[in-house]
Structures are given as structure tokens and as C-alpha cells.
Amino acid sequence: GAVVGMDSAKREYKRLKKLLRSGAIGKQQVDMSKAQYDGAVTKVAAAKAQIRALRAQVRALRAGVAQARSAQYDAMIKAPISGVVAERSCQVGDMAMPSLPLMSIVQMDKLKVRIQLTEQDMSKVKIGKRTELKVIAHPNRTFIGVVKKIAPTLSMATRTVAVEIHLPNIFPVKPKRSCRKDEDCKDIERGMCRKQKRKRKGICIEQHPLKPGMIAQVEIFIRSYDNVLLVPEDAILNTSYNAKGTQGNSREVYVLVDGKTPIKRKIRVGVKSSKGMLQVISGLREGEKIITNGHNLYKPGLKIKIVNTPSTNKDTKTTPSTN
């Protein structure tokens, strides 16, 4: 282009200058070649200036593109977590403002349950303890959770401590069923196919039976004992709480001897379960029958009548009779 023309004009100008010194040509030809060379130099300078201007335009355009991309990125709303849209507060065309939430998102695969403990119970609960939860929507089911967080301070308003329990919200269908796609689980309420690692088939799962906002009844396992003998707390005689020799964890019950004669016996009890059952440490053997109903009305000499024998054959409900 312009640079090639300038180089060609420069060589021609030098060649003619040599011929002028030898007298082979006249000065007019040399001047004409010099004018052509100067014109080529001007064109090259103009071309370079135009290139610099174009490069400046390119830089400006690139900056505009970067600004547009930044504006596009800022205009995109990205959720900080994966989940399900629970509530949308705006519609298409509404003006977005920093103080106005666009939507609420909930994470449904794992849930948190927050409860409040009194000062009396807070020392008994530790992180990692197993919990059982029940909700009204699923009265025949028990959901298992774990204590994950315990607040370091008490609420000044309620004088209670906040406890956070975590539990899963996706459960394999029992008995387990193999599947390859969600359509294989369509007969299950909220069913879907979950792929298993390193396996071609998946298993049908029940997805999200628990919903955020539900009220749950929570039981926290403080201690657990295996293979212990239990009696209903209702079987304890009312008089045993004040009777001589029944201090501490000593109590009294009526044991049915020979299937018809109630004998008062002292027993030593331990912990109490959440279902009203007392641990028997000593004083009773497995299989012995105790009176659980009407025992506080019994007096020596009265005959008893068995009205119900539980299937466990470990306790007996009776009613006193004067016959």
C-alpha cells in the first residue's frame, strides 16, 4: 500500500540523484521524483494516523462491550443456593428496587427445625443428639434428625435457648424399588428417580414430604438404654411417694402373685421415658404381672377381678371388688 509506494519513490529519487551528479539527466526530473517521494511520505503518515485513530475506536468499542457485559451480568438475578421458588413478590415489567425482594427460595432436600429449650433442659442436650419429629400432616410417621447447633446465649425475652435440628427431606421408598427414570416412580406421591453412583439403575424416592413452616413435635434422645425392664408410671402407688423407706428412686407397686393375690413390693426405678414409662433397676423380674389400674383403691382383703390382660403379659389391669 502506501508504505510500498513510499519505498519505491524513495529508491527512484536516490537513483535520479546519482544520475544528476553524473550529468545524465536534468534537475527537473530529480525535483519531480522528490515531489513524488514527499507525497508518498505524507500518505504513509496519514495512514498511520488513521490506524491510530481506528485502534482508539477499537479500544473504546471493547470498553463498551465490557461495560455492556457487566450491565448484563448485573441484570441477571442468581440465587445463592439451589432450591424451589416459594414466593414471588414482583411481576414482569415491575421496577426492581434494592429494598424490594424479588422472590423467596427454599432449600427442600435438607430442612432445619428450630426449637426453644428452657434453662432446666438446656444442660441435657448436646450437639449430635438424635431426635424424632412428628407433624400433623403425617401422623403415622416419625422423622429422624440430629441436633446441629445450640445458641451460646439465652433469649432475654423468653429465657430460652435456641436449638437447631437438621434432617433430610428425601426418603427411599420402602421396600426399595429400582427405576431408570422419573416416569417409573409416577405412582408415588412426589416420587422421582434418584441415580445411584456407579450403577445403571436408580431407586424410587419420596421427595419433600416435609414443608417449610410446618409445626413439629420434637423428642430429643438424652440417653439410651438397651434391654431394660419398663413399667408404666401410672402403676406406681400414690402412697409410695411419701411412704417410709421409699426415698429417692424407690417406689411401690402391686405385684399379682399366683394370678390373684396382690402383694405390695418396693422397686427401684431409674430414668423416665418420654412415653411415661419408668426404668426398673431392681425389685421386678420380666414376666411378673403388676396392677396398673385401680391399684390405688385396693385394700388388703378385697378381692380383685382381672378385666384386661395386655398381650405383653407383663402387667394387669384390675378393679377392686367387695364380692
What is residue 313's predicted lDDT score, i.e. its pLDDT? 38
Q: Which of 38-52, 116-130, 249-263, 282-296 is predicted most confidently?
A: 116-130
- CATH class as words, domain 225-310: mainly beta
Q: Which of 4-13, 90-99, 163-172 is predicted most confidently?
A: 163-172
Q: Give per-residue pLDDT as tens, 91-101.
A: 888 888 888 88
In whole angstroms, what is the distance from residue 244 CA to residue 83 CA?
63
Q: Give per-residue pLDDT as tens, 270-305.
A: 888 777 888 888 888 888 888 887 777 777 777 777
Helix (H) or strand (E) holding 34: helix 27-75
**Which of 11, 76, 5, 89 has its CA nearest to residue 44?**
5
> Helix 2-22 and helix 27-75: axis angle, to 10°?
160
What is residue 221's predicted lDDT score, i.e. its pLDDT? 86
What is residue 198's predicted lDDT score, i.e. its pLDDT? 67
User: What is the value of pTM for the model shown?
Assistant: 0.56
Q: 139-164: buried (b, 16+ CB within 10 Å) or exposed (e) per residue?
A: eeeebebebeeeeeebeeeeebbbbe
Write the CATH number of the domain with boundaries 110-220: 2.40.30.170
Percent of the chain clearing pLDDT 90 (strictly above): 22
DSSP type of residue 213: T
pLDDT exceeds cutoff 50 at 190? yes
**Mean pLDDT, residues 167-188:** 86
What is residue 320's predicted lDDT score, i.e. its pLDDT? 43
